[in-house]
Structure 1
């Protein structure tokens, strides 16, 4: 591309002509009438002509691990022993991309330990080696005390359980009684109970009874007087 022809096409008068906005082009030392230079697009990328600017799609993500792991493979044979590191599967670049889990424990050792315990029980019948009679007696008394303590705790637990069960039965009976009262038909007279009897109401029946007894006594006396 000819830069001079490009600039002349945009109004440049040639070399040595300044940017003078007060003078028109054509005269001696005439300016272009521009206040700012012409802006030209420039390439700022670091890739040259003929090279791809996009990423290579053939480079898969999982190939990076193998590339990092194979950096020192196939090198020159005159490497010193200090520069070459021994291969370790746990710290290599290849195994860095994998998750390390726990190993599975075997069951052979547990079976052997159980067999030894069974043999000791059969041979010694539960007796500990090097134990005297006093120690054995003390151990038995402690075992009996622990058994008694467990028994008392068990009985107390059973008593608490029975008490809770009795309370539940009582609550259930109260709920049943409330439910039965709700199911019965409602009587409006129950809302207004009769008041207690007053003194006047209590005295009137007594007077009536006394008057009746007096009338009967008078009639009987009259009947007795008639035969005379």
Structure 2
């Protein structure tokens, strides 16, 4: 879009003149200069606190990489790390010259990351229950079904947590045995489902063999009637929806 042409069509006299039609002292004759942010920092960020100003992690890794001694690799001795008291070692150990490091410890950067736990319910019985057994008049009591379901959920979470802890502490042989037992249970469930489906199919086939010709015709007619009723219902719903959209 040509902004100058648009302004001239609205009465502007041109470059060097203000937007006033006759008096150039009213208004601005020079455009406002807009400052641009080209340093890559966000709004309100200062150069001293820029995130790329302190590349301590990169320098720590470079120091570790430069300390790798590969001279004995061909002889089968492997790679030896000669730097054992660098910045990365100080960060991992939590001390720098006997003092807590900048990124570890109680006041360090990594102390801000906290591992979350499982939230559990704190209410028991009714919402307005007091310690002395009396109930608050403005509290709504919980139903027995909701309280029982919350207790079941809590028990289920405890069981899952206990099972997870047991799995972490089990050996490799116990883990293989547990997986084998789980596989056997899964196969048994699949066999039971197949047997149940086979019994159902056999019962259905036997029932069809025993029914007469008139019963078969009546059954098919009833099935056709059900399908037609469903089709008419869907058609009525679609017509009602179209009328509601048009109305």
User: TM-score over 0.5 for the alignment?
Assistant: no
TM-score by length of 1: 0.25
TM-score by length of 2: 0.23
- Between the two structures, name the one with larger relative contact order (CA 8 Å, sep ≥ 6): 1
